Amino acid sequence: MPRPTIARPLSALVLASCASLAAAQTTPSVVYRCPGPPVLYTDQLSAQEAKERGCRTIEGAPVTVVQTPQRPRPPASAPAPARPAEARVDPAEQRARDSDARRILGNELRREEERLAEMRREYNNGEPERLGRERNYQKYLDRVADMKAAIDRKEADIAAIRRELAKLPQ
């Protein structure tokens, strides 16, 4: 009795998948270049979404898509692996580390606050002293804008240090 062969159904399946793959590759998709840091290249937006975000279409340019391998994630219900006893830190040593970190961050916070106060004095509420090399008024305005940006960055740094201090145990 002859055995049924699976060659025909298998070849039909392979042929159908190749045809659908070829059709997918030849179908032109619209690729958008969206502004902003970072610049985004995507084909996942509708025309309306792209228009709202200020994206431009890219035509005639070959686009290469590189997909990064995704790391497997443990299930949410899986507990974190327990540390071996020798890898645990002695509570007294951990308290010492925390107090060192608190001291270091406190010193850094004081230095940054002193520097911020100095920058604010120099900034003089947006009207710093004009320097001799600033005969061109635009140079003066540029320096004032740079000073304001530096003050804003310093304030953000101080806020970050305070957040780090708040995370440490008392």
Asked if residue 133 is part of any domain, the answer here is yes
pLDDT band at 110; cut points 50, 70, 90:
very high
For residues 20 and 103, give the distance between their C-alpha atoms in angstroms, rounded to a whole number.
64
Range of the domain at 163: 90-167
Asked if residue 120 is part of any domain, the answer here is yes
Percent pLDDT > 90 in the chain is 36
Asked if residue 7 is part of any domain, the answer here is no
For residues 59 and 32, give the distance between their C-alpha atoms in angstroms, rounded to a whole number.
9
12-45 residue pLDDT tens? 555 455 555 544 454 456 787 888 777 777 778 8
Asked if residue 39 is part of any domain, the answer here is no
Asked if residue 141 is part of any domain, the answer here is yes
Asked if residue 95 is part of any domain, the answer here is yes
46-105 residue pLDDT tens? 888 888 888 888 876 666 667 778 777 766 666 666 767 677 888 889 899 999 999 999
- CB–CB of 165/106 below 8 Å? yes
- CB–CB of 43/61 below 8 Å? no
145-160 residue pLDDT tens? 999 999 999 999 999 9
pLDDT of residue 18: 52
For residues 159 and 130, give the distance between their C-alpha atoms in angstroms, rounded to a whole number.
30
pLDDT of residue 148: 95
Count of domains observed in the chain:
1
Model confidence, pTM: 0.48
Q: Find the helix or strand (DSSP H, E) in which 41 lies.
A: strand 40-42
Asked if residue 73 is part of any domain, the answer here is no
pLDDT of residue 149: 95
